[in-house]
Amino acid sequence: MSEKISGSEILMKSLLAENVDTIFGYPGGSIIPVFDALYDYQDRFKYILTRHEQGATHAAQGYARAVGKPGICIVTSGPGATNAITGIGDAMMDSTPLIVIAGQVQTRMLGTDAFQEIDLVGITQPITKWSYQIRRAEDIAWAVARAFYIANSGRPGPVVLDFAKNAQIEKAEFEYKKCIFTRGYIPYPVINEKQIETAADIINEAKKPLALVGQGVILSNAEKELMDFLEKADIPAASTLLGLSAMPSDFPLNKGFLGMHGNIGPNMKTNECDVLIAIGMRFDDRVTGNLATYAKQAKVVHLDIDPSELDKNVKATAKVLGDAKQTLKLLTAATKKASHKEWIDSFKEHEQTEYKKVIQKEVFPENGPIKMGEVVNLISEATHNQAILVTDVGQNQIMAARYFKYTQTRSVITSGGLGTMGFGIPAAIGAKVGVPNRTVCLFVGDGGFQMTMQELGTIMQDCIGVKIILLNNNFLGMVRQWQELFFNKRYSSTIMKNPDFVAIAKAYGISTQCVDKREDLDAAIADMLKDDKPYLLVVNTESEGMVYPMTPAGDTVTNILIG
């Protein structure tokens, strides 16, 4: 019989068994035994103390998205657990593997409204893949193994372990068995060869095919398989927001960004193509606009690992259920080599229109205030298009998505489905901790920055070399844009009086400067990138700039505003 150890130490040993190297978190009364155990494992884990539990979850998300394995977050009960809810919900919407371990009152006190008791399992069940309360020390290793299996298999997502304090203290024998199966959960469906054949037949007959690339390609590590497929069948492709960087920006068949603020070409061609091939994407409303007028002329081939996404928003002519790495490989083998030169060349007219009417004005302005797009472009070029892009939410997010360029995968970390302002700073921390050898550039607005700017303390404490570019327009810019276009310029609660951001950065010991003039941008960017230390570059941009192109919400994808 092996020696019995505390539940908290069982947790530590279980995390090591799953090759965890980094933990984000914030301590509190109901989780103190776990942090006490962590004290003896400081040489085994890199622990990052954030300044808020929401920051801990977003940092764990940034780590997960950059590294490709679950992010780990440990918080206390009550408000500590509820502060983590936004990150959990964000991870669920964006299929991010996240494991949140939260303290809970002792089992004997459950249901008594004890100090900092909250029904975390009840709260989080709708926004997790699995939420489980650990009440006994002997259940810890089993629960952790199952949590990792569920969070990181199939379509990834968040798992919550609600950890009763008595289970943290009690002793039990430690035996760890990795989970490879749980009843009723089928993360990797058996691929139906008939589905592959049907899809291939449709693609082989296509004259004007168009591929829509989602984050599922990245999550399944299917980037090579994607490009092999596109090249063999000669199919132009465009990416969703989270699918950006599945293909290098200069990949010849990459036609850009889909959706509300995406490139004109792929949006227009969505309603011209004869076959629409959706790969690891869920037909989000920001991509489709009005479903009643979306791609009605096209046969739809939909590849996804999650059966609930098939026929959910857009009815598919051919459904291919399975992991994209396998299904793309099989589909490529069944697809004939083709040439669609005339169809691909037809994108050029839209590209030229967009360059002349939107890009040239936004990225290469001759005078006037500094534009967000030109800042993004200059920084992307200065990093040789090799940096990880992290964004907050709003105009900064879309400008960055449109004008940052990528040479490798896992280079875009942003809040997609939930659209969480405040995501940026902590997510950038997690990305830099996870991949320290890559430059991490965060683009954030003045609104989102102030939602989680306490995490500058985390950057300071651990000297995390994040490059923060604050695009300051003294507005909640995206809401203001909607107010200008659709609410007669009634700027209700969107004008912001901001603090001295440079002084705030200096208070945290972070190098910083503020740029007002275009001629100072290049030198400021070079100064920011000269070493791997944290930096805040504040750029005062056009106060009432607009993100174009734009398809109004719920409108037809081809009804595009360009200024």
List, by residue number, the catalytic residues: 53, 115-116, 165, 478
CB 99 within 8 A of CB 18: no
Closest-CA residue to 443 (of 390, 507, 514, 501): 390
DSSP state of 471: E
Phi, psi of 26 (to 5 degrees): -155, 125
Beta bridge partners of 158: 98
CB 164 within 8 A of CB 134: yes
Q: What whole-number distance in Å separates Cα of residue 71 and Cα of residue 23?
A: 7
* Beta pairing, strands 171-173 & 4-6: antiparallel
First to last CA, the chain: 74
Stated as kind and residue range, the H or E segment containing 93 is: helix 85-93
Half-sphere exposure of 428 (CA within 13 A, CB side): 33
CB 71 within 8 A of CB 101: no
Query: Encoding tokens for residue 321?
Result: 């259920």
CB 287 within 8 A of CB 281: yes
- The gap from C-alpha 168 to its chain's centroid, in whole angstroms, comes to 32
CB 165 within 8 A of CB 103: yes
CA distance readout (Å), 270 to 101, 211, 300, 555: 43, 9, 11, 14
- The gap from C-alpha 399 to its chain's centroid, in whole angstroms, comes to 16
Q: What whole-number distance in Å separates Cα of residue 377 and Cα of residue 394?
A: 17
* Beta pairing, strands 467-472 & 440-445: parallel
